[in-house]
Structure 1
Amino acid sequence: MRAVEDVVSDEAGARSETPAPRRSRADLWALLNYGVLAVLVTIQLWRDPNGRVLASNDDDHGVFLFMLAHGERVLFHGDNPFFTDRLNVPDGVNMMANTSVLALSLPLAPLTHWLGAGVSVAFLITLGLAGTAAAWYWVLSRHLVQSRVAAWVGGLWCGFAPTMVSHANGHVNFVSQWVLPFIVWQVLRLREPGRAVRSGVILGLLIVVQVFINEESLLFTALGLGIFVIAYAVMAPARAKRDARQMIAGLGVAALVSLTLLAYPLHFQFAGRGNYHGQPFAPDEYATDLASIVGFARQSLAGNAELTRTMSVSGTEDNMFFGPVGFAMIVASVVVLWRSVAARATAIAALVLLVVSMGPTLKVFGADTGIPLPFGLVSHVPIIDLVSVTRFAMVPATLAGVLLALATDRLREFTPRGRRLWQVGLVLALVPLAPKPLPVVDAGPLPPFIAQGTWRQYVPDDRSLVTVPLPEVTTGRTGMRWAALTHLEYRSPRGYFMGPVNPPLDDTGSWNAPRRFTSDLLWRVREFGERPQLSESDKARITQDLIFWRAAVVVLVPGSRNEGPLLDTLTAALGRPQEVGGVRLWDVRSLPVPPSE
């Protein structure tokens, strides 16, 4: 249709259609390619999804085990989807203010219920990679390019780019981007006459689904589209003015539909119990390194972990890393498509968000050059201050794949020598970026006390099971994993989640529950092997914390770091432990239970 051609290339004309049987076979092979590649990336996790965790980010792997277990409780036990009291007893967790992936956890609740949260996490990471690639292939092949090969290349890049494989190390939300291509396409379709209501309603519903997958990705997409529209309007004002009324009407319909459906969830997110504002880190702490544009990611075939560490904050944030040939091919794509206003606007959107992702000052190979960048002017704007800055680079990483597909679609217009050079360039760009299987580590089996349900003899529903080390970011992941693999049947204090650091005095976002005497004490023992001499006052404060946490039993996690000092500290505070079902435990059911709020 001409409206689509206007978006892709202002001078595009009619081109020959590939016969339908060949198109169907190409579609099937593309989807099969993506599926096989996704399984190869996750194969080591699939060998024991409930017994292994992703080595590069076992913390976030544990978080999504918890999120999937929460979805199971919502469907099978009628729990509140927007709030849980199974973690961070007694305060609970605002699930809308966390990445609860309800659009994923609820449909997969039966899988989680019968096979375990670990299987659901492995399935979602695999589906996220293959599904994102397939979604972009579908949009590209049906609406933006004629060549199935070009669409395959674009889908491959968008679904398996280094940023996607990097986030597959635990970020279920960021690899599940299969709704975003359809949001982009529906926005572009709003300019077609007579589609304001229909496309607006579809767009509104897609936005609602994406909010319950990942709001950050939706924000990035909206910013990318906004910059694209502005750039397009500047370069083609007459056409933009002609389409403006139709697009504004469609966006109004989409806003009405999505805000109506999201009014209560968003109110709960920003004003409900457990809400927070801001992040527990400075904007420049996680920013894109300029050198990463031509570097290789850890999980790429040509990647070198030691070198990549100088250009990236973690194994789950390798957000650029095109490689030298890959970057050259993206630049070449822009050159090939330069006559298209839409392509230039796409390149401008990618460039702007790339610069934004670099934070307040420019970094090169980890060194801060002191050169100021525009993000410093908006780093404290509400909503923006909730975002990890380097993740803005996920947008240019995706747009690079779209540009590459559009340029490859022009291949038939090249000279024979130009076609050969382009094909060689694609091979030299894509092969070094081929993803390696995600590394995993053995998380250890559940002790019989947990696996066989012996804990039920000790923990009434209104009390909690306190695991030591306490569930915290980086130090208490085992306790959260135990709870998640038991479908959150018992309640746990503290945990790894986003919440206010010290309500009501300070509602700044934090990865931990508010500090308490016992949590600080046990953290020091676990980290440094201290054996503190506990005074009667110290023991009384520990008792008060256990009462606050509504503790029924305290369980020492076998094999913990500095297990000996932890055992000695707990024994000094609570007396000699019992040995039950492969764990040492302290029965504290004699402690009073505070009244429920």
Structure 2
Amino acid sequence: MPACAGHPSRAFPAGGPVSAVPTEDAVSREPASGPAPSGGPVPAAPRGPGRFRVSLAVLAGYLALALAVFRAAWADPGGVLYGASDSALFAWYLGWIPHALGEGLDPFVTSHLNAPTGSNLLWSTPVPLLGLLTAPVTALFGPVVSLNLLLTLAPALSAFALFRALLRWLPAQPAAFAGLLYGFGPYMIGESYGHLHLTFAVFPPLLLIALDDLLTRARPPLRTGALLGLAVAAQAMISEEILATSALIGGIGVVIAGLGHRDLVRARAGALGQGLLSCGTVAGLLLAWPLSVQFFGDQRVHGNIQPHNVAVSDLLTFVTPTPAQLMAPDAGLRHSARFTGNAVEVTGYLGIPLILGAAVIAVRLRRDPLVSLFAPLAVVAAVLSLGSRLHVDGRTTRVRLPWLALENLPVINSALPSRFALYLMMAVGIIVAVGLHRAALRGTRTARHRAGCRSGRGGRGVPFATCAGLAVAAAVMVVPLLPRAHVTTPTATPAFFTGDAVRAIPAGSTALVLPYPYPTRTEAMLWQADADYRFRIPGCYCTIPGPDGRAVFNAWTDPLNSALVAVEQGRLDADTALADPAVRGAFEQLAPAAIVLGPTPRRAELSRLMTGITGTAPTDVDGVELWLPRR
């Protein structure tokens, strides 16, 4: 979407570091060969119904693109997941929140997972707000459909949020282009493989709007702060990590703006303080209950959740495609395979054309208000994404980086550095959008000058040649980022869990569902959700305190659990497990009302183990083997 903005008609009100723009007359009077203005007229979209129609068209375009990206899910929206274990986890959460509230249960601390001890879900990623919003969809079609719906909406809404924010300073076309990069870049596409909480990235653009209102537009600080507080509370109920990293990047942005506009920031410091106080008050009131449960409730954890210096951007990440990109030559894939961390977290790829384009624009337009703010922010986000020690082609060097000073701070210590790629793409997208807009202005100005020399009248609109050139430039920067088709995983829930047969398990009882759930095998959690949480299950893929109170992601705490996982993984045979009296003792202590064995490659061995422990043969029911021990 090149910056072919049509006839520039008026500018938005001038304000501060990213609001001051010259009028059209000032631009048109400047010689075509002279220096670029510090800003540019902002025709954006027309106000009123016209602007609404433009926004609606852009949103429709984003939604259409999202449907194209996630088209595989919509062939069978209740039968496939993007990713595997993490996706099943989010499907469980989306179903649990409305179920718990509807049944009068605690939505945040439950023994439905990790029975009988339970889990404080707030230390995981329960996305309670999204669970509430999709409750009607979940009730009608199930949590997997809700998950696929949200994964489809997330990039479109995130892109649209940035588009709407940028209409304050840019016309619709370049603003839409920035939104496209932000909402559909490698970060968003990569994290959509199971990380729902990280793909709903509407909050960073909302924070940009709020800070602009407080610092440059003299909006009422108490009201602006209260609205920001609502957004903070909403974001906390989607992803605390995005909230924390947005606050960090936003604070750094305020410092950068202050260094370039000391008088303005000094004059607005009081309003900023009032706004932040109002924000904190509103957010604190709304979050008092969940935060008190998280930090003072049962099953809370201590210390950082994620390991340090693993999920980071390699120095080559920014120029090396991964399997997520459509254009990924073998040479690039050999390098990206060496990067540390989970493959879906390698999301900092920008591509050489986009990097070069953004760098040229940042240098040439360094006095532009938006560029002077977001060029340093892009560098900051890139450096933070590198983690605490520099990684080069998969090797960890001794070079220390700024994240080292942050990785042990409370709250921020559990953030993964590689995820700062979100803010890197946001900043780069804005820089390039400004460059496209300014190129369109220059082309228009030149055409007017030439037309005026010939006929005494200036032309209107952006010349076709300029539009074509900008379209080609935009395409060159975007094409390397095109995503490969998403890989889906079938849910394959046995009919037992969705039919009447599941009623054989007493409601509210504990059922040992196999394969035993742990971080890479979460079928049992998905089946439990499909059974409308009729029973509790031991094991989980969730954040629980280990023996020392620090976070672990599984519950291998007794001989039975350990044996079940070892047999399922092929590291132990059933006869050896049966010979261990501790395994039988742990089973007697758990005392499950039912054992349900679903499809798994080691099903025969697990069946032999359960038959030996219970002393009874299973019943084959609707795709599972069922034991109902007598007590």
Instruction: Tell whether the 8 Å contact from 1:90 to 1:548 is kept in structure 2 after alignment.
Output: no
Could you report, residue by residue, the CA deviation over 1:100-134 in whole angstroms, capped at 9, with x for unpaired residues?
11111012112111101110000000110111111
Q: Mark the runs of 5 or more structure 2 residues left unpaired by the alignment.
A: 1-11, 22-37, 447-464
Could you tell me how far 1:269 is from its partner in structure 2? 0.9
Q: Determine whether 1:489 maps to 2:534.
A: yes
The Cα of 1:420 is off from its aligned counterpart by 6.2
> Of the candidates 283, 286, 289, which is equivalent to residue 311 of structure 2?
286
Alignment of 1:408-487 (within 5 A): 408-415=436-443, 422-444=470-492, 446-457=493-504, 459-474=505-520, 476-487=521-532
The answer to whether the aligner puts 1:136 opposite 2:162 as a matched pair is yes
Partner of 1:521, secondary structure, is helix
* TM-score, with structure 2 as normaliser: 0.86
| CA distance, structure 2, for counterparts of residue 198 and residue 177 of structure 1 | 23
1:464-498 residue CA offsets vs partner (Å, 9 max, x unmatched): 11112211110x31111101222222211111011
Among 304, 317, 320, which residue is 1:295 paired with? 320
Instruction: Deviation per CA, 1:368-421: give whole Å up to 9, x if none.
Output: 233222222332222122122211222212222222223322223335798765
CA 1:139–1:17: 2 relative to 1, 3 Å:
closer
Report the Cα distance in structure 2 between the residues aligned to 1:160 and 1:278, rounded to whole angstroms.
33
| Equivalent residues in 2 for 1:191-230, closer than 5 Å | 191=215, 192-193=217-218, 195-230=220-255
Look up the SS of the partner of 1:213 in the other structure. Answer: coil
8 Å contact from structure 2 (residues 563, 572) kept in 1: no
- Is the CA contact 2:165–2:208 (under 8 Å) kept in the aligned structure 1? no
1:111 to 137, 141, 149: 137
Aligned to 2:209: 185
Q: What is the distance in 2 between the residues matched to 1:392 and 1:548?
A: 45
Amino acid at match of 1:149: Q
Please tell me whether the aligned partners of residues 17 and 257 of structure 2 are also in contact (alpha carbons under 8 angstroms). no
**Match of 2:4?**
none
Alpha carbons of structure 1 residues 27 and 564: separation in structure 2 relative to 1, 3 Å: same
Note the C-alpha offset of 1:8: 4.4
Instruction: State the one-letter code of the partner of 2:629.
Output: V
**Does the alignment pair 1:578 with 2:618?**
yes
Q: Which residue of 1 aligns with 2:433?
A: 405
> Contact (CA 8 Å) 1:169, 1:316: kept in 2 or not?
yes
Quote the offset at 1:547 in angstroms.
Answer: 4.5
- Residues 342-421 of structure 1: pairs in structure 2 closer than 5 A: 342-415=370-443
- Structure 1 SS opposite 2:550: strand
User: Residues 9 and 283 from structure 1, CA distance in 2 versus in 1: closer, same or farther, beyond 3 angstroms?
Assistant: farther
How big is the alpha-carbon RMSD for the aligned residues of Structure 1 and Structure 2? 2.4
Partner SS, residue 100 of structure 1 = coil
TM-score by length of 1: 0.91
My pick for the range that moved more, 382-391 or 317-326, is 382-391
Residue 264 of structure 1 aligns with which residue?
A: 289
Pick the aligned partner of 2:148 from 116, 122, 125.
Answer: 122
**SS of match in other structure, 2:593:** strand
Mark the runs of 5 or more structure 1 residues left unpaired by the alignment: 591-597
Cα shift at 1:34: 0.6
Kept in 2: contact 1:158–1:397 (CA 8 A) = yes
- Alpha-carbon deviation of 1:577? 2.3
Is 2:20 the partner of 1:29? no
SS across alignment from 1:370: strand
**2: distance between equivalents of 1:95 and 1:337?**
47
Q: 1:501 touches 1:514 (CA, 8 Å); kept in 2?
A: no
The question of whether the paired residues in 1 share the 8 Å contact of 2:563 and 2:577 is answered with: no
Q: Distance in 1 between matches of 2:200 and 2:500?
A: 34
Instruction: State the partner residue of 2:569.
Output: 527
Report the AA paired with residue 470 of structure 1: Y
Matched, 1:542 2:542: no
CA contact (8 A) 2:511 2:592 kept: yes
**Hey, what's the Cα distance between the residues in 1 that align with 2:58 and 2:578?**
68
Task: Give the stretch that moved more between structures: 154-163 or 569-578.
Answer: 569-578
- Between the aligned partners of 1:536 and 1:507, the Cα distance in structure 2 is 31
- Once the two structures are TM-superposed, the CA of residue 195 in structure 1 deviates from its matched residue by 1.1
Aligned match for 1:251, one of 276, 293, 317: 276
1:237 aligns to 2:285 (yes or no)? no
- Pick aligned residue for 1:7 from 18, 32, 55: 18
Task: Say whether 1:563 aligns with 2:603.
Answer: yes
* Deviation string, structure 1 residues 313-371 (Cα, Å, up to 9, x no partner): 33421321111111112223322431035532322222123212211211122122332
Compared CA separation, residues 334 and 96, structure 1 to 2 (3 A): same
Between the aligned partners of 1:35 and 1:17, the Cα distance in structure 2 is 21
Query: Does the CA-based 8 Å contact 1:8-1:340 persist in structure 2?
Result: no
On the 8 A contact 2:190/2:345 being kept in 1, the answer is yes
